Amino acid sequence: MALDLAVVPVAGLGTRLLPATKSQPKEMLPVGRRPVVQYVVEELRESGIKRILFVTGYGKSSIEDFFDVNQQLVSHLRHSGKEEQLAELAFERNQVQYAYTRQREQLGLGHAVLIGEPFVGNQPFVVALGDSIIGMHAKSRIVERMIEEYERSNADVVVCFEELENKNEVVNYGIAQPKGQITGDVFELESLVEKPSVDEAPSNLAVAARYVFSPAIFSELEKTERGKGGEIQLTDAMCQVLKKGGKGIGIRLPKEEPRFDIGNFESYFQAFVDFALSDPQFGEGLEIYLRKKLSIEPGAE
């Protein structure tokens, strides 16, 4: 059976983005024209995912509404002849099947994934974090490549990594410990460390919000105790799978498919500017505006 199932955790409180996230999910923040989670779903769909389980939480119901069909809005636009705006809602009818469940206690990412177990059962699945976009306008096939690699190498864990330019950022991410020297973009994983200090970090390769797992992850998650930050960490369960002889594969994100982390203001602002600058209608005008504002001559790099 094709691997066409993804769990998308969207239950986090978004505390690093307060007050913007006080009464709306961070996954619904707009980046350019669309909310973050719409890019995530489009990326998954392009990679062959047909079933998505959102693990939501309190105050996240606007995500459910967003992927539903809004009949009233559709007929209003149709009757007023607003065809262009109507086309923007075409995603409501895409061929993805959505399911929703709730994480009722904030016990961390590992716990959120474990909540998906009764739905996933005994089959491999993708995990895609709902607050990260991969590639400009989500034009990334990294998940498809990860699935291929999962099947080819008979792995238990496939993770994609972003190379951090600034080593001080390791404290914000799960960090890879590769097996031996890395020679290409695909490498074997020895282990991982969740949010290490700069000195402890085994590399500058940061877990970039996309994973493929065999069901072996669930039996480890069930046993995983609270770790970093008092939360049940997905990284800790992955380490246990590897320690017990499971195979782990890392794939480096290509430079032209950057990851946009919408989990803090600094990277959210950057993502918004990048996406707005590439808007087909308003991008050019925004660039002129920014150049003027920053006193950069037109044509200068």
DSSP class of residue 235 equals: H
Beta strands in 18-135 (DSSP E): 30-31, 34-35, 51-56, 97-102, 125-128, 132-134
Q: Does 129 bind ligand G1P (CB under 6 A)?
A: yes
Q: 160 has which bridge partners? A: 251
Min separation Cβ 60 and ligand G1P, Å: 15
Min separation Cβ 110 and ligand G1P, Å: 8
d(CA 1, CA 134): 26
Tell me which residue of 250, 225, 259, 3 sits closest to 110, measured CA to CA: 225
Min separation Cβ 282 and ligand G1P, Å: 29
Provide the residue count of the chain. 301
* Positions in 261-290 near ligand G1P (CB under 6 A): 261, 263
Q: Does 134 bind ligand G1P (CB under 6 A)?
A: no
Identify the residue whose tokens are 């998954």: 44
Min separation Cβ 26 and ligand G1P, Å: 11
Stretch that binds ligand G1P, among 24-32, 34-42, 114-122, 232-240 (CB under 6 A): 232-240
Identify the residue whose tokens are 């950022």: 169
String of contacts with ligand G1P for each residue 155-194, x by CB under 6 A:
------------------xx-------------------x
Under 8 Å between Cβ of 174 and 108:
no
Q: Does 109 bind ligand G1P (CB under 6 A)?
A: yes
DSSP class of residue 185 equals: S
Q: 174 has which bridge partners? A: 194
Min separation Cβ 139 and ligand G1P, Å: 19
d(CA 197, CA 169): 9
Min separation Cβ 32 and ligand G1P, Å: 20
Q: Supply 123's token pair.
A: 């089959």
| List 26, 218, 235, 248, residue binding ligand G1P (CB under 6 A) | 235
CB-closest chain residue to ligand G1P:
174
**Residue 87 CB burial class (10 angstroms; 0-12, 13-18, ≥19):** exposed
* Positions in 191-220 near ligand G1P (CB under 6 A): 194, 206-207, 209
- Quick check: helix, strand or coil at residue 190? strand
Under 8 Å between Cβ of 100 and 64:
yes
d(CA 257, CA 161): 11
How many residues interact with ligand G1P (rule CB under 6 A)?
14
**Complex with ligand G1P: residue 77 or 156, whichever CB lies closer:** 156
Stretch that binds ligand G1P, among 36-44, 49-57, 59-67, 231-239 (CB under 6 A): 231-239
| List 132, 140, 203, 224, residue binding ligand G1P (CB under 6 A) | 132
- Phi, psi of 170, deg, nearest 5: -55, -30
Q: Does 36 bind ligand G1P (CB under 6 A)?
A: no
Min separation Cβ 158 and ligand G1P, Å: 15
Gyration radius of the chain's alpha carbons:
20
Stretch that binds ligand G1P, among 25-33, 147-155, 227-235, 271-279 (CB under 6 A): 227-235
Min separation Cβ 257 and ligand G1P, Å: 15
Which residues of the chain form contacts with ligand G1P (CB under 6 A)? Answer: 109, 129, 132, 173-174, 194, 206-207, 209, 233-235, 261, 263
